[in-house]
Chains A and B, each alone.
Chain A
Amino acid sequence: MPELPNPNILNPFVLMDPSVAPAVALIVMAASVSASFLIARYFFKSYSFSGFGYLLGFPAGFAFLGLSYLFQYASWALANDAVMYPAFFWMQVILQSEGITLIALSYHFKNNPGDSGKVTFRQGMQAIARYKLKHVLVVVLPVLVVSVSFIIPSSAFVSAPYFNYPRLADLSFVMTVFNIAVLGYIFKSAIISLVKAANAKLLYAPVAFALLALEQYSLVLTYFDNSSVAFAGSLAVRVAGLALLVYAMRHAIRMAAARRRDLEIEA
């Protein structure tokens, strides 16, 4: 009888061939972390220059994503530690979902800026009072995601000193599905905004977010069949998605500089 795969694999790096896993983990982590922090840095500069509140979610989200990739590597590096391995895995899952949620919030508040681009607790309450389901979800969901990340481990620590592997594996599956839904929203918002601005030539960003959604889908496949091929695919599309976003930003900055040079030459 063939051996059934372990349904509670947390960090899929453990599925990879041990002879290549260290190099792959290190390269993918270094590429993902540097790309995420580079994006965060560029957009944080934009936020601090403009002061537009809605822009803050974008760099914060990518900084969270960068941290989540660091924790993914750390959890794999400490795969033999019964406490640190699941603890770092939990950090990775939560930070990734929160990062993606923050990026989505940037898109949401860009489309619904209100008076100042910032949404206060009072506005959230007013939205609830007006039964605007969409607004209620947008205000409540991030709060839920954040609170779940604190409630679950707290209760787990109280009930048992060690993490519950099957529960964590299930949590990661639920969060992955949540990530796919949120990335779908980001993809839709980015594409609508670019088409409205007649900027359809610059579709790099929606494609990059589609690749990040594909990464999450590959992780779902990995969850179900413990396939190292699906996991390797998820790593490849993640790095491709982040690289594409970095390319889109550098391309945009080069275009702005070239436009400026042309104007100066004309003058």
Chain B
Amino acid sequence: MRHEKRHRLQLYYDILCAIEEDTFRNGDARPTRIQHYSRLSYDKMVNHFAEMESRGMMQHTPEGLLTITAKGRKFIEQYDELTTLIESVGL
């Protein structure tokens, strides 16, 4: 099956949603499970984690778990709104 290349914003969105989902299901979010949900290679995922942390969207806890920040939640809301809006006019 052919997978379309994902845009960076969509990658961020997928990772943040995966963290939310994993936290909801298991009480915490572990990088290995996020890798599984977001369908990324480990190296790429670690790079994206670093970028997202530097942008203040997520953070690592001292135990190596992942949490979303308020900025990350805001990003998910905005991305949701953006995709729904542009889909509503067929763009």
The verdict on A194 contacting chain B, using a C-beta distance below 8 Å, is yes
The verdict on A193 contacting chain B, using a C-beta distance below 8 Å, is yes
Residues of B contacting A267 in the complex (Cβ-Cβ under 8 angstroms): 20, 24
Sort chain B's interface into a size bin: 20 to 34
Q: Which residue of A lies closest to B89 (CB)?
A: A205
Given contacts A49-B82, A50-B82, A267-B20, contact A202 B87 (CB under 8 A): yes
Given contacts A42-B85, A43-B85, contact A193 B91 (CB under 8 A): yes
List CB contacts (< 8 Å) of A102-121 with chain B.
106-107, 110
List CB contacts (< 8 Å) of A221-258 with chain B.
245, 248-249, 251-253, 255-257
Given contacts A50-B82, A260-B80, contact A205 B24 (CB under 8 A): no
The verdict on A206 contacting chain B, using a C-beta distance below 8 Å, is yes
- Output the least CB separation between A44 and chain B (Å): 11
Tell me the dominant secondary structure on chain B's binding face.
helix
How many Å lie between the Cα of A204 and that of B7 in the bound state? 27
How many A-B residue pairs have C-beta atoms within 8 angstroms? Tell me: 73
Q: Which of A42, A251, A259, A263 has the most CB atoms of chain B within a 10 A radius of its CB?
A: A263
Is the pair B88, A259 in contact by a Cβ cutoff of 8 Å? no
Is the pair B81, A253 in contact by a Cβ cutoff of 8 Å? yes
Tell me the dominant secondary structure on chain A's binding face.
helix
Is the pair B89, A191 in contact by a Cβ cutoff of 8 Å? no
The verdict on B69 contacting chain A, using a C-beta distance below 8 Å, is no
Interface size counted on chain A using CB atoms at 8 A: 38
The verdict on B77 contacting chain A, using a C-beta distance below 8 Å, is yes
List CB contacts (< 8 Å) of B48-91 with chain A.
76-91
Q: Which residue of B lies closest to A267 (CB)?
A: B24
Is the pair A249, B80 in contact by a Cβ cutoff of 8 Å? no
The verdict on A55 contacting chain B, using a C-beta distance below 8 Å, is yes
Given contacts A50-B9, A55-B86, A106-B91, contact A266 B80 (CB under 8 A): no
Report B's interface with A, CB cutoff 8 A: 7, 9, 20, 24, 76-91
Instruction: Given contact pairs A55-B91, A248-B88, A252-B87, enumerate 11 new A-B contacts (beta carbons under 8 Å).
Output: A42-B85, A43-B86, A106-B91, A107-B91, A189-B90, A193-B90, A194-B90, A202-B87, A245-B89, A257-B81, A259-B80
